[in-house]
Amino acid sequence: MRRLLPPLHALRAFEAAGRHLSFSRAADELCVSVAAVSRQIRALEAFLGQPLFERLTRQVRFTAFGAGYFDQVGAGFSTIEDATRSALRSQRRPLVVDAMPTTANLCLMPWMSSFTEDSRIDVQVVSSMAPVDFAAGRTDVAIRVGTLPGRESDAATGTIPHRMAVDWTGVTAQHLWDEILVPICSRAYLDAHPEARAPDAWDGRELIHVVSRARAWDDWFRAQGRAGAPSAPGLAVGHFYVALQMARRHRGIALVPTVHFHALEWRDEMACPCAGALRSDGGFYLLYRTGADRQERVATFLQWIRRQGDQALPVPAR
């Protein structure tokens, strides 16, 4: 049904005149003439069939009908004003992107200046390994690595043990990149340890393990047709980022995602000592509340992050 609304310009003039109890002050606020305010209010009175003001010599005052109408109109204007302020605050609020520590440090932080400059959208990057919980926080989008619910693992691929979301109800996952793990070491380490080119010669002490991906080296060796990783203990660290730093310091061979390797500013210092990659049974996903991709900020970020991924997949040359 069509709404029963008076002329909105007239309603605005009435609300301003009612707040000030002055046509001249209302005219100053609205940047129009006093005569224009008077015409708008007369048009509203004609629409309603009732006088709203008593015109006195130097002032105006409400009629009984006008006072009651103003109370309701004023409440409506206040509601519209509050909704508008809330909408503007929402638009000015930074887009909150929650990413895993390595992805945040190696990928998002160095890349983010180009996104902000191109899109003029402010971004706040936070990092966490925990499953994202959109109901509990202010996160707009999250980047996680894992396997989608209901997908069966392939024995020939690497296992990702991480849960990506606390609750998948109302959550959309957009695939960004496959996770492909490759061995990486420093060129100096490779020069000092030529046996690093031959996995059959490894005893395990040269391997850098990421504790949150404890099976990764076993999965890599099996993908190369071997029984599993050698048994001698190697260095264990908390994140892929630290594993890469240890490899850069010539501490051994790290098994890391190609997307992280490609993002390194110092990747020319590093090398892949041998052939062989491990494709995981999951990948990197952008998670957000279902329907949020209809928001300009989220849609723009999704397009941008996918373009970054197009450059992030090559396996480094030996």
Which tens digits make up the pLDDT trace of 124-143? 899 999 999 998 878 999 99
Quote the pLDDT of residue 311.
Answer: 62
Q: What does each C-alpha distance from 273 to 52, 92, 155 come to in angstroms?
A: 86, 48, 25
- The CATH 1.10.10.10 portion of the chain extends over 8-92
Q: Residues 209, 226, 256, 97: what is their CA dihedral angle, to the nearest 10 degrees?
A: -90
User: Mean pLDDT throughout 269-283?
Assistant: 92
Residue 4 has pLDDT above 80, yes or no: yes
What's the fold here for domain 8-92?
Answer: Arc Repressor Mutant, subunit A (1.10.10)
Using alpha carbons, list the distances in angstroms from residue 51 to 30, 46, 215. 22, 8, 81
Q: Determine the number of helices (DSSP H) and then strands (DSSP E) in the chain.
A: 11, 11
Paired tokens of 148: 């989608």
Taking CB atoms within 8 Å and a gap of at least 24, the contacts of 167-172 are: 167/133, 167/135, 170/134, 170/289, 170/290, 171/134, 171/287, 171/288, 171/289, 171/290, 172/287, 172/288, 172/289, 172/290, 172/291, 172/292, 172/293
pLDDT band at 316 (very low <50, low <70, confident <90, very high): very low
User: Which CATH class name applies to 95-310?
Assistant: alpha beta
Q: Is the pTM of this model over 0.75?
A: no
Q: What is the mean pLDDT of residues 261-270?
A: 91
The per-residue pLDDT for 116 is 82
Question: Percent of the chain, pLDDT > 70?
Answer: 93
Is the CB of residue 141 less than 8 Å from the CB of residue 95?
A: yes
Per-residue pLDDT for 315 more than 70?
A: no
In the chain, pLDDT over 90 holds for what percent of residues?
63
Look at residues 307, 271, 276, 75 and name the one whose alpha carbon lies nearest to residue 186: 271
| pLDDT over 80 (residue 155) | no
pLDDT value at 91 more than 90: no
Q: What is the pLDDT of residues 188-214, one digit of tens each?
A: 999 999 999 999 999 999 999 999 999
What average pLDDT does the segment 256-270 reach? Answer: 92
